[in-house]
């Protein structure tokens, strides 16, 4: 799935995948049993944890799917023993009007004996295991807290989401949790680094996935930290930072001057082509705010003034056709 598809489809897909709650928080059944006479689950049978395999690189995943898959792999949750006797089995997922995807973009694999037959098992992150012997497929679904440990979230049906609407938010919350988890790890790694003759500065960018105002860490020359920090914003985002969910809203600003007077940072940007690079008022806001946050991290700066293309009231001049006021610095 592409990132834009995530944004368009997630409100529906999250409802689809939310299920029996975050697999770490699941406490109650979410699927009613059907076809109980088809299969006997009285004998204790498990998927042996040491044999479970998950290789995210084998799948053609976009950045978001890869992030979730990597989190699942690193958490070792998929290696938790899967107790088949705690699962419910359905001859067809359609028969329970399931909303969770039948095939997810990635899965762990294992070979298992079930009812004296050997199966290849696919373990999906949404509380589902499918067993295949080459001729038939058995779909097993976790419907209890006792079997939820290996999974990231539960399996959903339309009926249980209607009964408990809060279940619709579980997958979105899990995705947000993973973004915040990865970001905290990123900060720990960066804060432990030391670069000779350089200092670490915060460069603020927008990140809709994080709970608080967010920034990336860059190492710059000690001689002019404010100027270098602003330059780092214009340099854009590294792949690692994009994978953390950061976004740049620069609209063609590629050069600037900066000075500090009376504890005020005065920054004058030059943008190349506003007709193609600037398309919304929100973009201007999402550019200006991170610049101010980046500048005001320094003890010598109490406030920030910004001009763009010699316009002091650039927001109104660019987007509301107001008469431009010349930049006073």
CA 258 – CA 32 distance, rounded (Å)? 65
The C-alpha atoms of residue 193 and residue 201 are separated, in whole angstroms, by 12
pLDDT digits (tens, 9 = 90+) for 5-38: 344 334 333 333 333 344 444 443 333 343 433 3
* Averaged confidence pLDDT in the chain: 81
Q: For residues 212 and 235, what is the distance between their CA atoms, to the nearest angstrom? A: 23
* Number of domains observed in the structure of the chain: 2
Together in a domain, 210 and 169: no
pLDDT per position as a tens digit, 122-174 = 999 988 888 899 888 888 888 788 888 899 988 776 766 787 777 678 788 88
Residue 327 lies in a domain: no
Q: Does one domain contain both 118 and 247?
A: no
Distance CA 175, CA 126 (A): 13
Whether the CB-CB separation of 306 and 314 falls below 8 Å is answered with yes
92 and 145 co-located in one domain: yes
Residue 268: beta bridge partners?
Answer: 257, 307
pLDDT tens column, 102-120: 567 899 998 877 778 888 9
What is the domain extent for residue 245? 193-319
Only one residue has tokens 């070792």, namely 76
Q: Is residue 185 part of a domain?
A: no
Backbone phi, psi, residue 107, to 5°: -165, 155
Confirm whether 302 is domain-assigned. Answer: yes
Calculate mean pLDDT across residues 315-327. 89
pLDDT reading at 253 higher than 80: yes
Lowest mean pLDDT among 36-50, 178-192, 277-291, 308-322: 36-50
258-316, pLDDT tens digit by residue?
A: 999 999 999 999 988 776 677 777 888 889 999 999 999 999 999 999 999 999 999 88
CB 140 within 8 A of CB 127: no
Residue 218 and residue 168 in one domain: no
Q: Which residues contact 68 (CB under 8 A, 6 or more apart)?
A: 125, 152, 175, 178
Neighbours of 176 (CB within 10 A): 16
**Residue 329: inside a domain, yes or no?**
no
pLDDT of residue 101: 58
Structural domain contains residue 324: no
Give the dihedral sign, CA 321/323/328/329: positive
Q: Are 307 and 268 in contact (CB under 8 A)?
A: yes
Could you count the other beta carbons within 10 Å of the beta carbon of residue 163? 10
Alpha carbon distance, N-terminus to C-terminus of the chain: 47
Task: Report pLDDT for 258.
Answer: 97
CA within 13 Å, CB half, 234: 18
The pLDDT, as a whole number, for residue 180 is: 96
Q: Measure CA 69 to chain center.
A: 11
Tokens 């897909």 -> residue: 13
Q: Is the domain of 95 the same as that of 239?
A: no
Q: Would 115 be classed as within a structural domain?
A: yes
Instruction: State whether 23 and 96 are in the same domain.
Output: yes
Q: Does position 203 have pLDDT exceeding 90, yes or no?
A: yes
Together in a domain, 162 and 40: yes
Measure the CA–CA gap between 100 and 128, rounded to whole angstroms.
9
């Amino acid at each position: 799935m592409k990132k834009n598809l995530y944004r368009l489809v997630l409100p529906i897909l999250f409802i689809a995948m939310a299920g029996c709650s975050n697999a770490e928080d699941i406490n109650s059944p979410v699927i009613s049993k059907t076809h109980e006479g088809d299969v006997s689950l009285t004998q204790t049978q498990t998927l042996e944890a040491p044999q479970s395999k998950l290789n995210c690189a084998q799948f053609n995943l976009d950045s978001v799917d890869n992030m979730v898959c990597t989190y699942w792999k690193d958490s070792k949750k998929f290696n938790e023993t899967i107790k088949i006797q705690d699962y419910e089995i359905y001859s067809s997922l359609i028969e329970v009007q399931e909303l969770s995807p039948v095939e997810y973009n990635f899965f762990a694999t294992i070979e298992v004996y079930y009812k004296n037959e050997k199966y290849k098992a696919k373990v999906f992150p949404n509380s589902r295991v499918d067993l295949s012997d080459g001729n038939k497929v058995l779909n097993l679904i976790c419907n209890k807290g006792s079997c939820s440990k290996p999974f990231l979230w539960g399996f959903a049906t339309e009926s249980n989401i209607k009964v408990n609407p809060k279940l619709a938010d579980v997958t979105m919350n899990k995705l947000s949790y993973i973004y915040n988890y990865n970001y905290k790890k990123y900060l720990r790694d960066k804060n432990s680094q030391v670069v000779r003759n350089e200092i670490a500065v915060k460069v603020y960018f927008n990140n809709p996935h994080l709970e608080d105002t967010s920034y990336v860490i860059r190492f710059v020359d000690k001689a002019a930290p404010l100027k270098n920090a602003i330059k780092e914003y214009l340099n854009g985002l590294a792949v690692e930072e994009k994978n953390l969910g950061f976004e740049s809203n620069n609209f063609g600003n590629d050069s600037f001057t900066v000075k500090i007077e009376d504890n005020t940072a005065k920054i004058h940007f030059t943008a190349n082509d506003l007709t193609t690079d600037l398309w919304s008022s929100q973009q201007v806001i999402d550019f200006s705010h991170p610049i101010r946050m980046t500048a005001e991290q320094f003890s010598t700066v109490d406030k920030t003034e910004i001009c763009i293309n010699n316009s002091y009231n650039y927001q109104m001049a660019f987007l509301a056709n107001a008469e431009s006021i010349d930049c006073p610095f």
